C-alpha cells in the first residue's frame, strides 16, 4: 500500500473512532472499542487529539500537499443551468 494511502486510511479510522467516542460520551451511548496495541493507541490517543486542535489552515495545507483523491475538484457541468441559456 502506498504511504499516503496508508496514512489516510489510518488517520480516517482514528478520527472516526475519536468522533464516535465524543458523540457517545455526549449522549450516553456505548463508545467504540478501546484501542488495541501500541499502533492503535498512538493513532487514537495522540494523533486524533492533536489533529483536532490544529488550525484549519494548517490541516488544509497538509491535505493539499499530499497526493490523493481529496485533491480532485468538482467536474465542470456539461450543460447550462436553466436561465443561463
Phi-psi region of 37 (alpha: psi -120 to 50; beta: other; left: phi over 0): left
Q: 59-74 pLDDT, tens per residue?
A: 888 888 887 756 666 7
Q: Is residue 83 part of a domain?
A: no
Structural domain count, the chain? 1
For 61, the domain range is: 3-26+37-67
In a domain, residue 85? The reply is no
Cα–Cα distance, 70 to 5 (Å, whole number): 11
Across 27-43, average pLDDT = 90
User: CB-based contacts of 20: which residues, under 8 Å, 6+ apart?
Assistant: 31, 32
Domain annotation covers residue 73: no
**Amino acid 79: pLDDT:** 76
Domain for residue 79, yes or no? no
**Burial of 28 per CB tally in 10 Å (0-12, 13-18, 19+):** exposed
Amino acid at each position: 500500500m502506498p504511504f499516503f494511502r496508508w496514512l489516510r486510511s489510518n488517520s480516517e479510522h482514528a478520527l472516526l473512532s475519536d468522533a464516535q467516542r465524543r458523540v457517545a460520551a455526549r449522549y450516553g451511548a456505548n463508545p467504540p472499542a478501546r484501542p488495541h496495541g501500541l499502533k492503535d493507541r498512538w493513532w487514537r490517543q495522540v494523533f486524533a487529539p492533536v489533529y483536532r486542535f490544529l488550525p484549519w489552515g494548517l490541516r488544509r495545507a497538509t491535505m493539499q500537499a499530499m497526493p490523493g483523491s481529496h485533491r480532485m475538484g468538482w467536474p465542470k457541468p456539461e450543460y447550462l443551468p436553466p436561465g443561463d441559456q
